[in-house]
Structure 1
Amino acid sequence: MQLTIPCRHYQAGTCRSCQWLEVPYVRQLEQKSTHLAQQLQGSAQQNLHWLPPFPSALQHFRNKAKMVVSGSVERPILGILTDPNDGQSAVDLCDCPLYPPSFFAVFQVLKDFIARAGLVPYNIAKQKGELKYILLTESRISGRLMLRFVLRSENKLPLIQREFAQLRAKLPQLAVVSLNIQPQHAAVLEGEKEIFLTEEQQLEEDFNHIPLFIRPQGFFQTNPLVAQHLYATAQNWVLELNSQQPITHLWDLFCGSGGFGLHCAAALQKQQSVQLTGIEISPAAIVCAGLSAQRLGLSDVSFRSLDAAAFALEQTDKPDMVIVNPPRRGIGQELAEFLAQLRPHFILYSSCNAVSMAKDLAYLRDYQMAKIQLFDMFPHTAHYEVLTLLVLRSA
């Protein structure tokens, strides 16, 4: 078996999360490009500029690990369950080659902490235990970490607090630590309640000299190198457009922590005044976006925690450009049709699902696709990110 990267879990047949690990990487990019082109066959592609796919590192590219906790409190297993129904068929993935090498040593310390704090792993079959997941995120600029324990209840909080000082002594790179309370017996990753054990509540990151922040319950891309180039590409495209027709009013819908809007507004502000409105349903992500705007000194910026579609449908003013970065379901017919009627000069569409994006583009008939590029955010899988620029034909 010839693998793109060495992985003992794939070779043993115990983990198949990377479905394409036996596919040469050049072939992976070709297959993704072909899939993207197939989705867009019904779209207007006259004079469409296809840029070459932006590749990813093949290993150690993830900044986040989501580990199911199983096994026993004395010998916890951090990884995945191959059969969630029995709660015991676990695979330890602490040495997964997708994670930074530094994560392995961190996980060993966390296993010891689990035992010391008496955090009994949650058994799905028996519906007993406390600790469901460990979520670990690294800042690539500083190496500092955000650690979250997803628990069924607050019962173990006193024991965690008792052992916490020793944990921080062993892992001084821990910047943000929290407990997330998820009481449901359901396939739900996290609950609404977050209990912080540290004074800091967000992890600082930096893409292209734009400060960004990662906070519990806020979305952030898991492949920093590729995400950095994705945002830089959007910024460059917007600056090129601005040289032809000034862009002074931006909407950033489904904005997350503000990566797209902040990159564009910060660059435009050097040339003229610009108004940015960012909309995201997650309050945690909006807090992060606001911190970034403040750090950048952007004045005419508003980030609001709202449903993006509901916000847009209530507006009467017309921005020069709308940026959309929706979840896998896309922006949907209602919002797509509204944007078609609103007729902003430009729409910048970033998608993690080309199938739903193609459906949305079908409602934007008055727009010409001008540029498109695939970003391989998820190597060794069929998933990818795509960025496309739409220009109103009359513009």
Structure 2
Amino acid sequence: MVGLGHDGEGVGRVNGFTLFVQGALPGEKVRVKVVKLKKQYGYAKLLDILEPSADRVDAPCPIYKQCGGCQLQHMSYEAQLRWKRQLVADNLERIGKLAVAGPGDAAREGILVHPTIGMDDPWRYRNKAQVPIGHGGPDMEGGLIAGFYAQGSHRIIDMEACLIQHEQNDDVVRAVKRVAGELGIRAYNEETGRGMLRHVVARYGFNTGEIMVVLITNGESIPHRDELVGLIREAVPGVTSICQNVNTQQTNVIFGDRTLVLWGRDVIYDTIGDIRFAISARSFYQVNPVQTEVLYRKALDFAALTGEEVVIDAYCGIGTISLFLAQRARNVYGVEIVGEAIDDARANAALNGIRNVQFETGAAEVVIPAWRQQGIAPDVIVVDPPRKGCDAALLETILEMRPERVVYVSCNPSTLARDLRMLEDGGYRTVEVQPVDMFPHTTHVECCSLLVRKD
């Protein structure tokens, strides 16, 4: 095996032909069975490991090979961190056509890509679980099961514990599965559209201990609703909020548009650094709070704020980065296309008594030029886009506004590389990129990048 693909599969060569082998590691000699051939590459199933890699470890999760939630538990954590840095560097070079230098390449010109910042304890880090519910047998027969989908399928792998979820989330999922089953509540069937319980979502405040349970249902009327709520409260000591989200669409989108409070508050609270956040059932909130603080402090470092700067935060979400920046900036302006998130952002600013921040709903590429016409001239622009990267019109807007610095927070190295290329062509220089391991044992990696104007 000569490498790893971006989905964590081993990449092998047979007489010059490329095969992707799930579960194989670079440097290994393996025996495989070819299962699918394309014109220039193919896929194979791992049968035997003839010569194992020094980076191979035994995956501690008993359902790791069936579940599609993690991809890299069979690789040592140190090797995962090295591979994630290399993944970022390779994308910058291949897609962005950008020269890359590492910490040991003092003589080489290029973007400094730092070693990936990992976790001291890379387990039990997720504060949110979204788990589909099903039945253990065909045609909605058998008891309720709950777990993640097998890789590349919608077949649920029943689980009792997930080693990357906080233990409280496991407790919630087990409790809902048990008490809903005892009450005879049926799971939703994707093929027929019948059944009630679609997903259970558990949210846990790492720093407050508060717990939210969200039941995603195919309709508003839950059988034995009051009894169900009472049994969940008994089974999950410390639960703060029990909500219901109604989704009657035949879709694989988890949440519907309506959320009801069945018991307790409509939010739980948690903190990142000194900032307190109210988190509702549908709020976007980073799932690894330990590494989120690492990532946001790096964004603060790259912004190099002195207290006099005007900052724009595009894709601001519920204001997580904006409120961090506001502690050191003169004024922060946040924009987000999701109105519900902006409501949360304003509430979070009020919750923390932060007054030097303004939030607006709309597309960043529309709102930011309007701010420009109002005389708002940013010294720093921060972007934290979804996986598809920045809208091209937003990148054009950044180039027209010419801030001194751009801080780009990314969850996708390939779209990061594409967007950095456009900013470089427009007059910016990428100085450094810091990968952060927000999702240990998966193929995902976050990055924080610093760009400065070339003039």
Question: Is TM (by shorter chain) over 0.5?
Answer: yes
3-state SS in 2 of match to 1:363: helix
Correspondence list, 1:307-322, <5 A: 307-316=363-372, 317-322=376-381
Paired residues for 1:222-233 under 5 Å: 222-233=287-298
Whether 1:330 and 2:357 are equivalent positions in the alignment is no
What's 2:311 paired with? 250
Q: Distance in 1 between matches of 2:151 and 2:57?
A: 25
- In the alignment, which of 125, 131, 147 is matched to residue 61 of structure 1? 125
8 Å contact kept, 2:99–2:110: no
Q: Which amino acid aligns with 2:133?
A: V
Change (3 A) 1:159 1:304: farther
- 1:6 maps onto 2:70 in alignment: no
Post-superposition offset of 1:285: 2.5
Give the 3-state SS of the residue equivalent to 1:287 in structure 2.
Answer: helix
1:230 maps to a residue whose letter is L
Instruction: Give the corresponding residue for 1:34.
Output: 86
Matches of 2:141 and 2:230, distance apart in 1: 20
2: distance between equivalents of 1:335 and 1:131?
Answer: 40
Residues 47/355 of structure 1: CA separation in 2 closer, same or farther (3 Å cut): closer
1:148 match: 214
Deviation of residue 84 (structure 1)?
A: 9.2
Q: For the Cα contact (< 8 Å) 1:377–1:385, is it kept in 2?
A: yes
Give the Cα separation in 1 of the matches to 2:112 and 2:267: 38
Shift of 1:216: 1.9
Question: What SS is found at the alignment partner of 1:103?
Answer: helix
Q: Return the alpha-carbon distance in structure 2 between the equivalents of residues 333 and 267 of structure 1.
A: 29
Query: Equivalents in 1 of 2:358, 2:226: separation in Å?
Result: 37
**Larger RCO of the pair (alpha carbons < 8 Å, separation 6+):** 1
Q: Structure 1's 38 and 224: CA in aligned 2 closer, same or farther, altered over 3 A?
A: same
The corresponding residue for 2:144 is 76
**Match of residue 271 from structure 1:** none
Residue 160 and residue 218 in structure 1: after superposition, are their counterparts in 2 closer, same or farther (change >3 A)? same
- What secondary structure, in the 3-state scheme, does the structure 1 residue paired with 2:302 have? helix
Q: Greater helix share, 1 or 2?
A: 1
Q: How does 1:155-234 map to 2 (within 5 A)?
A: 155-156=221-222, 159-234=224-299
Tell me which residue corresponds to 2:68. Answer: 16
Which residue does the alignment assign to 2:166? 100
Q: Secondary structure at the match of 1:364?
A: helix
1:301 to 343, 357, 361: 357
- In the alignment, what sits opposite 2:176? 110
Distance 2:270 2:187 in 1: 31
Q: 1:117, 1:160 within 8 Å by CA — same for their partners in 2?
A: no
> What secondary structure sits across from 2:423 in the alignment?
coil
Structure 1 residues 153 and 382: alpha-carbon distance in aligned structure 2, compared to 1, 3 A threshold: same
Q: Does the alignment pair 1:275 with 2:331?
A: yes
Compared CA separation, residues 180 and 125, structure 1 to 2 (3 A): same
SS of corresponding position for 2:208: coil
Q: Return closer, same or farther for 1:264/1:4 CA change in 2, 3 Å cut-off.
A: farther
Distance 1:83 1:276, change over 3 A: closer
The separation in 1 between residues aligned to 2:151 and 2:324, in whole angstroms, is: 42
Change in 2 beyond 3 A, CA 1:141/1:84: same
* Alpha-carbon shift at residue 289 of structure 1 (Å): 2.0
Query: 1:51 maps to which residue?
Result: 114
1:349 corresponds in structure 2 to 408
Q: Displacement, 1:44?
A: 6.5
CA contact (8 A) 2:85 2:435 kept: yes
Larger radius of gyration: 2
Give the AA of the match of 2:166: P
CA distance in 2, matches of 1:70, 1:177: 21
Provide the rounded CA distance (Å) in 2 between the counterparts of 1:176 and 1:284. Answer: 19
Do the aligned partners of residues 75 and 126 (structure 1) sit closer, same or farther apart at CA in structure 2, a change above 3 Å counting? same
Kindly indicate whether the alpha-carbon contact (under 8 Å) linking 1:5 and 1:59 is maintained by their aligned counterparts in 2.
no
1:382 to 443, 448, 451: 443
Q: Which of residues 270, 288, 298 is equivalent to 2:344?
A: 288
CA drift of 1:339 comes to 0.8
Check if 1:120 corresponds to 2:186.
Answer: yes
Change (3 A) 1:227 1:346: same
Amino acid paired to 2:150 = T
Shift of the alpha carbon at 1:48? 4.0
Q: Give 1:73 shift.
A: 8.4
Secondary structure of residue in 2 paired with 1:212: strand
Within the candidate set 179, 194, 197, 1:131 is matched to 197
Change (3 A) 1:188 1:346: same
1:76-120 CA-to-partner distances (Å, cap 9, x unmatched) read 1111343998x7x43112311111223333333212331355431
How far apart, in 2, do the equivalents of 1:51 and 1:319 lie?
A: 27
What SS does the aligned partner of 2:63 have? helix
* Structure 1 unaligned spans of 5+: 269-273
Pairwise CA RMSD: 2.4
- Tell me which protein shows more strand as a share of its residues: 2
1:312–1:91 CA distance, 2 compared to 1 (3 A): same
- State how far apart, in whole Å, the 1-side matches of 2:241 and 2:141 are: 24
Cα distance in 1 for residues equivalent to 2:216 and 2:201: 8
- In the TM superposition, residue 133 of structure 1 has moved relative to its aligned partner by 0.5
Q: Aligned-pair distance for 1:74?
A: 7.4
What CA deviation, in whole Å up to 9, does each residue of 1:38-90 have, x standing for no partner?
A: 222223665644433110332111111111100168721111343998x7x43
With structure 2 as the length reference, what TM-score do the two structures score?
A: 0.78
Contact 1:324/1:349 (8 A) holds in 2: yes
**Structure 2: 5+ residue stretches without partners:** 1-48, 50-55, 101-108
1:309 and 1:215 mapped to 2: Cα distance? Answer: 27
